[in-house]
Amino acid sequence: QLMIKETIRHQISIILLTPLLYYIINYFGHLDIRGPRPSWLTIIYQLVLFILSEDAIFFWTHYLFHTPWLYKNIHKKHHIYKQPTGVVSVLSDPIEGLQNQLSIWFMPVLLKEKHIFTLCIWIAIRVYQTVNAHSGYNLPYVSTQYWVPWIMSGALAHDFHHEHGKWNYGSFFNIWDRLMGTHRLSKTTKRTD
């Protein structure tokens, strides 16, 4: 019941924040919603910037949310479930929700020119990565962890994070975790068959 209630609340808040986000994006630059799609090179370049900035901001804010006061008063709600699911990914305090939105939208807001097509791909990537990280499985062929395990965090790393309440703070990559000594994996793995 808590998951359902929180998921509905989270989705309503996103719907209400969308016009504000559109205004902010256009205030700092221009969001093209009618022009031709940009070149694939431009799309890939912008997506790489979005992913790298989101990963850095998310790691550091998530790391801070695990300090004693912030964990107790803000982040603990997200860790109610030791075995996360895709729905649990949106179970968070409103302050943490804003932090997540900041990490997702920081670079798209900073770029002067962006196209709605690129932002739709970015949202699809972000939703997929979030749900996949909370799925409990590194699915073969569709999981980033499957293709590049030496730099990608994956679901098993995030499961370990939820189970132990620390380690593996990263979003897309484990590079920040490796640099900060917070990268650790469980000895057991979940099978996908």
User: How buried is residue 176: exposed, middle or buried, by Cβ count under 10 Å (0-12/13-18/19+)?
Assistant: buried
> Is the pLDDT at 75 greater than 80, yes or no?
yes
- The pLDDT assigned to 129 comes to 87
> Is the pLDDT at 9 greater than 90, yes or no?
no
Q: pTM (2 decimals)? A: 0.85
Distance CA 86, CA 130 (A): 7
Q: How confident is residue 50, by pLDDT bands cut at 50, 70 and 90?
A: very high
Q: How confident is residue 52, by pLDDT bands cut at 50, 70 and 90?
A: very high
- The pLDDT assigned to 153 comes to 80
Distance CA 22, CA 183 (A): 36
> Is the pLDDT at 106 greater than 80, yes or no?
yes
Output DSSP code: residue 37. P
Domain housing 28? 2-33+40-137
Q: Give the count of domains, the chain.
A: 1
Residue 177 lies in a domain: no
Residue 98 lies in a domain: yes
Residue 108 lies in a domain: yes
Return the higher-pLDDT residue of 115 and 159.
115
Q: For 14-30, write each residue's pLDDT tens digit.
A: 777 778 888 888 888 88
- The pLDDT assigned to 28 comes to 84
Return the higher-pLDDT residue of 75 and 2.
75
Residue 173 lies in a domain: no
> Is the pLDDT at 127 greater than 90, yes or no?
no
User: For residue 47, which amino acid is it?
Assistant: L
Give, in order, the Cα–Cα distances in Å from 36 to each of 26, 61, 118, 178.
18, 36, 11, 41
Q: For 141-192, write each residue's pLDDT tens digit.
A: 666 666 777 788 888 888 889 888 889 999 999 999 999 999 988 655 444 4
**Structure tokens, 123:** 């949202």
The percent of residues above 70 in pLDDT, for the chain, comes to 91
Backbone torsion region of residue 77, taken as left when φ is above 0, otherwise alpha when ψ lies between -120 and 50, otherwise beta: alpha
> Is the pLDDT at 94 greater than 70, yes or no?
yes
Residue 163 lies in a domain: no
**Structure tokens, 51:** 């992913």
Distance CA 96, CA 77 (A): 10
Average pLDDT, the chain: 84
Residue 14 lies in a domain: yes
Residue 110 lies in a domain: yes
- The pLDDT assigned to 189 comes to 47
In the chain, beta strands by DSSP E: 30-32, 113-115
The upper half-sphere exposure of residue 60, i.e. CA atoms within 13 Å in the direction of its Cβ, equals: 7
Residue 50 lies in a domain: yes
Distance CA 46, CA 188 (A): 37
Q: What are phi and psi of 113, to 5 degrees?
A: -115, 125
